[in-house]
Structure 1
Amino acid sequence: MASLLQLLHLIFSISFLLVCGIATSNQTPKPYVVYMGSTSSSNNELGSDQVAESAYMQLLSSIIPSEDQNERRSLIHHYNHAFKGFSAMLTENEASILSAAGHPDIVSVFPDSVLQLHTTRSWDFLETETGILRASATYNKHVSSDVIIGMIDTGIWPECPSFNDKGIGEIPSRWKGVCIEGHDFKLSNCNRKLIGARYYPTPEMNSINGSKMSPAAGKTSSGSPRDYVDHGTHTASTAGGFPVVNASYYGLAGGTAMGGFPSARIASYKACSKVGCSSSSLLKAFDDALKDGVDIISVSIGADNFFLSDYKNDPIAIGAFHAENMGVMVACSGGNDGPFSYTIKNTAPWIFTVAASSIDRDFCSTIQLGNGKTFRGSAINLSNLTKKRTYPLVFGKDVASNFTPTYEARNCRPGSLDPEKAAGKIVVCVDNDPTISRNIKKLVVEDMEAIGIIFISEAEKDVPYDSGTFPFVQVGSVEGLQILNYINSTKDPRATILPTVEIPRYKPAPVVAYFSSRGPARQAENILKPDIMAPGVAILAGTIPRTDEPGSVPVGKKPAQFAIRSGTSMSCPHVTGAASLIKSVHPGWTPSMIKSALMTTANVRDNVGKPLTKGSGKSANPHEMGAGEISPLKALHPGLVFETTTTDYLRFLCYYGYSEKDIRSISNTNFSCPSNSIKELISDINYPSISIANLSRNQTAAKTIQRTVTNVGLSNATYIAKVHAPVGLVVDVFPQKLVFLKGVAKLSYNVSFFGKEAPSGYNFGSLTWFDGRHSVRTVFSVNVQ
């Protein structure tokens, strides 16, 4: 923490700037975050939280005009455990003054923006492929189940059976967290499974867009750790939920619902609402989680693709950096903006970034036409339609409202359909307009009092949409054309949509999810992202009871305790659960060792023995699936690991272009950057994968990358290298043999890349070290230009 003398110096500097005057572009106060780097090794030079808060208040008072002191002289949040800083209402002018003041501890000042949520059988599938449940059961007998997962999300529904604490031992004595009460949340809602629950102002409680926000928001009776969105409950139960037998979603996806590490403890940090997650609340959640003593943090949240932040302005990157520095892994969802390149989120190298895949289960609904033909489509609908009765079938353009362009009615855009023409019919809609989601089309047709909707689209057809009780089914273009031809071939086209049925043992699986965001990373292409892939399509997990949404509960049924959701939000907690298992077996491993173990042992073949694919049927590459699908049992004994150290991350910041002043504030060290600090050198940090953003075909010499591995297996081991490279890209390894004698834990090797004959663009391959028992696989991506 900066000394009081430094803060007083900053206040003097600010006063000078105020006297000199800085041009004002916007005088409307808005929430800002002032990030001031790492706390000291003693954790608190200023003393208590109260003293730190007082210092921040003094700083705030120095820039707020006296006439606004009573109204705005208060902090929304202050951070003083893992890192330091605060959030407060500032004008753009005041934020500029803080940025320009030149204090060594102010790293960045940025608007308190809203980040978005990235919203069973999956673990059974991983059991079939990798044996994770056997491993979990075996190791739970021998180790303490005291791994604590911090879930930063929308809160928790404590009554969900996934958070039962039956058979779980006493709460670890090292736990320093709390269970905060609310008007609808009691201390008794926490137990030996759900050991902590906090909440913070969310975008529904405050204003991120400029109007007044009360710093006490979230401390009033309107605040609570309780989840009213479903997202936080679903992700928490996926990561560490207690086993619940006979779980299902109204009969679909039946079986035992459980988390990846069922004996893990869960601490919930509610920093998000349905609207999103404020930067300042996310940072406060990180700060509290690290103070409380969590072991792993799971964050299924990310910035909008159009507003990707610089790392020092990104609350998740900031929080995750300090977590990593304190030995706490942070797993994050990669985003749902696929299948396009350069859409991956949460790309800092100290974050474990997760892509989404399918599992060996599908959900489909049958369309039966009046001529007897049937088509299977993707769906999760709980309709009560039967084969006994069919209904008039129409194309959207044929029930268009007056003066509506045909294009809009074909796409079932809002306001494009005539309710008198559409009522009582099944409406066919197409997908020529990507700005109109499946959900909106369904709501448009449902609002017309139509019977159901047939949606024709190739996009996301392998990701079943949950339409509740309203009949909905999605088919591809081939089936869709036949349905449209039927409509045009008869005077009285008719159809029905049958309720969803489950398709077990579906092949091939896993497949990269259509929606899963892809690399390379915009911020730093010399780090390969995503890192790993995990189940994220149609995942059954705990939910909140839905009683206020018409059509969400079938007539005569009680609200479901489990729901089926898709997204990288669902894949992230799978990795969190797997990492928790590894942490329980290897408590001394660092986050980077756990990350390396999961990456280098990842599965790259599906359940028919072929290389992993994406929805199109083409082979998936590392920009789509990272190192491959998690294989937690193999990751327990990886043989070798890549340890990415704090020094590696600080060099990354140097190579990325940050100043030594900022890096020293961020790390609270006297770290000096290498004299040659350029972005190309990012490829050299000791990461479990390799990415080269620019390999010139005209280079006369090969580009060489160095890596260092740590032996975590048996001593006296010898590993032999094997390279899989695309035609034309020459990849050599030196030495080709790593011999770990007794007492030798670390060895280094070089990998050279020569691309004179390689095709332009990204080339993908892998390097595998094999000792007869362990296969340590490192994927690489090389952009030849």
Structure 2
Amino acid sequence: MASLLQLLHLIFSISFLLTCRIATSNRTPKPYVVYMGSTSSSNNEGSEVQVAESAYMQLLSSIIPSEDQNERRSLTHHYDYAFKGFSAMLTENEASILSAAGHPDIVSVFPDSVLQLHTTRSWDFLETERRILRASATYNKHVSSDVIIGMIDTGIWPECPSFNDKGIGEIPSRWKGVCIEGPDFKLSNCNRKLIGARYYPTPEMNSIHGSKMSPAAGKTSSGSPRDYVDHGTHTASTAGGFPVVNASYYGLAGGTARGGLPSARIASYKACSKVGCSSSSLLKAFDDALKDGVDIISVSIGVNFFLSNYKNDPIAIGAFHAENMGVMVACSGGNDGPFPDTIKNTAPWIFTVAASSIDRDFRSTIQLGNGKTFRGSAINLSNLTKTRTYPLVFGKDVASNFTPTNEASNCRPGSLDPEKAAGKIVVCVDNDPTMSRIIKKLVVEDMEAIGMIFISEAEKDVPFDSGTFPFVQVGSVEGLQILHYINSTKDPRATILPTVEIPRYKPAPVVAYFSSRGPARLAENILKPDIMAPGVAILAGTIPHTDEPGSVPVGKKPSQFAIRSGTSMSCPHVTGAASLIKSVHPGWSPSMIKSALMTTATVHDNMGKPLTKGSGNPANPHEMGAGEISPLKALHPGLVFETTATDYLRFLCYYGYSERDIRSISNTNFSCPSNSIKDLISDINYPSISIANLSRNQTAAKTIQRTVTNVGLSNATYIAKVYAPVGLVVDVFPHKLVFLKGVTKLSYNVSFFGKEASSGYNFGSLTWFDGRHSVRTVFTVKVQ
């Protein structure tokens, strides 16, 4: 804890600054986070916490004018276990004064911004399609049920069958968490599976958004740990859900729904609502999860804007302290693909996940009046049949008065005439990228149309759930034929049939269209994303949707499962895989588990060909990281790269942070290397290699060092094999690694020479073989 003497010094400094700047004070208070680095001890309890809270209050009192003391002299949250700080309502001027006060414990002061949620067969696909033989008895014998997964999300629906605790033993004695009750959440809702549930009321969300929330949004932001959004329940059941046989979404995606480690315990931390997740609540959730004793934290959340540094990123802050305490943090990479430079959660201590498809697709058939049929992407529970067709129109032909043709063709809000569109199937195009297919569907549905055909190449392989409303998406080739039929026929008609499942779909996996891409803006010398996992049309637990018109077919009960897509869905797959490894190797650090999953990842699809993206072109590491996770292979990786706390502190040095901030963040007397430049980030001991600038004019090769730890059999010999693009010269020294008895760590150098290489990004890999294991390290090199 910061000493009271230091805080008194800070208060004096603030008083001086206030007298100098009060005239220009901005009087509109907004929520801010004051981050004050690492605690001196991770056992802060009782009186120490009270002293810290009192000191924060004293600090707050020193900066808030006396006339505002009664209204604003309170902490929204305070952090006291893994890291220090608090959140409170401050004016812009008060926040800048805190930043300028020069106190060694204040690392950053930043607005309490809103972060966004990034939102069966997948586990079977990951295991069986890799042709990995699984001896169930041996496998289950070694799996521990004491791994605790912390889910920071929108809460949990405890009645979901994925959280059944049948056959699960007593709660681990090391668990220190709680199950917080609420008007709609009882203590008995927790069990040996769902062992903890917290929530974080966020009354400041109005101020963050600058407007009042809707009643529904307010309902979901506080009150209890119960999930009213569906996101948290879906991700938790994906990561560690109990096996549920005969699970399906109204007959689609039938099978056994389970998590990556079905025996894992789940602790839910509700820090988000429909409107998003406040930075202050996320930090409080991290602090509580670490205090409670979780082993792995899953965060399917990210910023929706560009951050200038890691000190203002609540997920990067929370994950840094989690890593220091031996807790892995897996995060979704974001849904802003297919554009480059869009990847989120890029700090090297975060396990960043891209999304891929699995070998299952959902298709709906369009039958035209002339008998022609087209198959498109869809998840619709339509009750239309082949025996009856309906008038088929293009959006521009049912435009409202004075509406531009382009707007009506795109089915923009207000562009269609309800009298003209009612009772018809409306065709909409996608010339306006600012309008999502969800909005277009709602526009058409609101016109009381029979159904909608959407013509778009974007996300055509990511089926959209339209509930009972008949909706289907086709590509431009099929779309042009449908429009030609409309234009050449006196009475064009069509029907849209209910969705059917396409099993054993090929090729799979494929990089999801929406999955955010690298390189990472903040630190291109770290390859991001790290890994790829299933995130398209994933069946998992849900909340009962009883109040959404058209979500439940007539005569059916609300489904206990839902099909969702997003990197939000891929992240808990990695969480589950990491939990499996943790259960078998409890002594492994987060970086060892991360390395195991990265170096054993597969780069081939179920046709035996290199992984691709939606366009059919080969995928590269900026799109898929090291490749698709292969959880069972990762149990025995042979070699691992251990990224140490010192590596991460050096990263901060190379990135440009001051020693003062780094010492405060780490609670150490760490000194930066004398030569600290961004190019040296490539040298931290990471399971992949990224070089942001390799000049063709360099007369000498650029050399990168890595150290591997042998976690396989002793007396092993590994031989290196390099796969490099033409023109990029890559050499390894030594070319052979010999692990004799008692030797567990060895280092090697990789040199890159780009005189003849192509300009731009060059991708390749280095693989170490010992006859049993293949330890693959991908690299990206930007040649200037």
Q: Is the 8 A contact 1:331 1:572 kept in 2?
A: yes
| 1:202 to 1:479, Cα distance in 2 relative to 1, 3 A | farther
Q: Distance in 2 between matches of 1:695 and 1:139?
A: 45
Q: Is the 8 A contact 1:261 1:581 kept in 2?
A: yes
Q: Is the 8 A contact 1:382 1:469 kept in 2?
A: yes
Q: Which runs of 4+ in 1 moved over 6 A?
A: 211-221
Mean Cα deviation higher: 634-643 or 41-50:
41-50
| 1:563 to 1:138, Cα distance in 2 relative to 1, 3 A | farther
Q: Distance in 1 between matches of 2:191 and 2:627?
A: 36
Q: Is the 8 A contact 2:352 2:528 kept in 1?
A: yes
Question: How far 1:205 sits from its partner (Å)?
Answer: 6.0
Mean Cα deviation higher: 263-272 or 308-317:
308-317
- List per-residue Cα deviations over 1:51-93 (Å, max 9, x = no partner): 1111100000000001111111000000000000000000001
Q: Is the 8 A contact 2:201 2:221 kept in 1?
A: no
Q: Is the 8 A contact 1:132 1:632 kept in 2?
A: no
Q: 1:385 aligns to what SS in structure 2?
A: coil
| 1:52 to 1:270, Cα distance in 2 relative to 1, 3 A | same
Q: 1:49 aligns to what SS in structure 2?
A: helix
Question: How far 1:219 sits from its partner (Å)?
Answer: 13
Q: 1:284 aligns to what SS in structure 2?
A: helix
Q: Is the 8 A contact 1:114 1:276 kept in 2?
A: yes
Q: 1:335 aligns to what SS in structure 2?
A: coil
| 1:664 to 1:30, Cα distance in 2 relative to 1, 3 A | same
Q: Distance in 1 between matches of 2:221 and 2:404?
A: 50
- List per-residue Cα deviations over 1:355-381 (Å, max 9, x = no partner): 000000000000000000000000000
Q: Distance in 2 between matches of 1:216 and 1:505?
A: 40
Q: Is the 8 A contact 1:356 1:535 kept in 2?
A: yes
Q: Is the 8 A contact 1:182 1:221 kept in 2?
A: no
Q: Is the 8 A contact 1:234 1:543 kept in 2?
A: yes
Question: How far 1:18 sits from its partner (Å)?
Answer: 1.2
Q: Distance in 1 between matches of 2:441 and 2:665?
A: 48
Q: Is the 8 A contact 1:300 1:332 kept in 2?
A: yes
Question: How far 1:213 sits from its partner (Å)?
Answer: 12
Q: Is the 8 A contact 2:425 2:452 kept in 1?
A: yes
Mean Cα deviation higher: 306-315 or 168-177:
306-315
Question: How far 1:127 sits from its partner (Å)?
Answer: 1.9
- List per-residue Cα deviations over 1:253-287 (Å, max 9, x = no partner): 00000000000000000000011000000000000
| 1:584 to 1:355, Cα distance in 2 relative to 1, 3 A | same
Q: Distance in 1 between matches of 2:308 and 2:17?
A: 27
Q: Distance in 2 between matches of 1:212 and 1:104?
A: 37
- List per-residue Cα deviations over 1:361-405 (Å, max 9, x = no partner): 000000000000000000000010000000000000000000000
Question: How far 1:24 sits from its partner (Å)?
Answer: 2.9
Q: Is the 8 A contact 1:23 1:93 kept in 2?
A: no
Q: Distance in 2 between matches of 1:136 and 1:346?
A: 36
- List per-residue Cα deviations over 1:333-367 (Å, max 9, x = no partner): 00000000000000000000000000000000000
Give the % identical residues. Answer: 94
| 1:132 to 1:414, Cα distance in 2 relative to 1, 3 A | farther
Q: Is the 8 A contact 1:531 1:626 kept in 2?
A: yes
Report whether the alignment pairs 1:569 with 2:568. yes
Question: How far 1:209 sits from its partner (Å)?
Answer: 3.7
Report whether the alignment pairs 1:23 with 2:23. yes
Q: Distance in 1 between matches of 2:330 and 2:746?
A: 28
Q: Distance in 2 between matches of 1:407 and 1:136?
A: 58
| 1:410 to 1:97, Cα distance in 2 relative to 1, 3 A | same
Q: Distance in 2 between matches of 1:160 and 1:82?
A: 32
| 1:137 to 1:160, Cα distance in 2 relative to 1, 3 A | farther
| 1:449 to 1:215, Cα distance in 2 relative to 1, 3 A | closer
Q: Is the 8 A contact 1:29 1:211 kept in 2?
A: no
Unaligned runs of 5+ in 1: none
Question: How far 1:222 sits from its partner (Å)?
Answer: 5.5
Q: Is the 8 A contact 1:131 1:633 kept in 2?
A: no
Question: How far 1:220 sits from its partner (Å)?
Answer: 13
Question: How far 1:128 sits from its partner (Å)?
Answer: 1.1
| 1:663 to 1:121, Cα distance in 2 relative to 1, 3 A | same
Q: Is the 8 A contact 2:217 2:273 kept in 1?
A: no
Q: Is the 8 A contact 1:130 1:633 kept in 2?
A: no
Residue in 2 that maps onto 1:642 = 641
Q: Is the 8 A contact 2:143 2:580 kept in 1?
A: no
Alignment root-mean-square deviation, CA = 2.1
Question: How far 1:288 sits from its partner (Å)?
Answer: 0.1
- List per-residue Cα deviations over 1:641-686 (Å, max 9, x = no partner): 0000000000000000100000000000000001111100000000
- List per-residue Cα deviations over 1:545-571 (Å, max 9, x = no partner): 001100000000000000000000000
Q: Is the 8 A contact 2:297 2:329 kept in 1?
A: yes
Residue in 2 that maps onto 1:231 = 231
Q: Is the 8 A contact 1:30 1:211 kept in 2?
A: no
Q: Distance in 2 between matches of 1:154 and 1:459?
A: 28
Q: Is the 8 A contact 1:394 1:426 kept in 2?
A: yes
Report whether the alignment pairs 1:277 with 2:283. no
Q: 1:673 aligns to what SS in structure 2?
A: coil
Q: Is the 8 A contact 1:179 1:196 kept in 2?
A: yes
Residue in 2 that maps onto 1:199 = 199
| 1:274 to 1:138, Cα distance in 2 relative to 1, 3 A | farther
Q: Distance in 2 between matches of 1:67 and 1:9?
A: 24
Q: Is the 8 A contact 2:14 2:97 kept in 1?
A: yes
| 1:406 to 1:155, Cα distance in 2 relative to 1, 3 A | same
Q: What count of residue pairs does the alignment treat as equivalent? A: 783
- List per-residue Cα deviations over 1:209-258 (Å, max 9, x = no partner): 45899999999996110000000000000000000000000000000000
| 1:473 to 1:133, Cα distance in 2 relative to 1, 3 A | farther
- List per-residue Cα deviations over 1:612-652 (Å, max 9, x = no partner): 00000000000000000000111000000000000000000
Q: Distance in 1 between matches of 2:29 and 2:726?
A: 58
Q: Is the 8 A contact 1:537 1:565 kept in 2?
A: yes
- List per-residue Cα deviations over 1:21-76 (Å, max 9, x = no partner): 25636220000000000001364499432111111000000000011111110000
Q: Distance in 1 between matches of 2:492 and 2:284?
A: 58
Q: Distance in 2 between matches of 1:188 and 1:174?
A: 20
Q: Distance in 1 between matches of 2:484 and 2:447?
A: 24
- List per-residue Cα deviations over 1:287-339 (Å, max 9, x = no partner): 0000000000000000xx43335101000000000000000000000000000
| 1:411 to 1:211, Cα distance in 2 relative to 1, 3 A | closer
Q: Is the 8 A contact 1:202 1:273 kept in 2?
A: no
Unaligned runs of 5+ in 2: none
Q: Distance in 2 between matches of 1:424 and 1:637?
A: 59
Q: Distance in 2 between matches of 1:25 and 1:205?
A: 23
Q: Is the 8 A contact 1:203 1:275 kept in 2?
A: no
| 1:211 to 1:132, Cα distance in 2 relative to 1, 3 A | farther
Q: Is the 8 A contact 1:183 1:221 kept in 2?
A: no
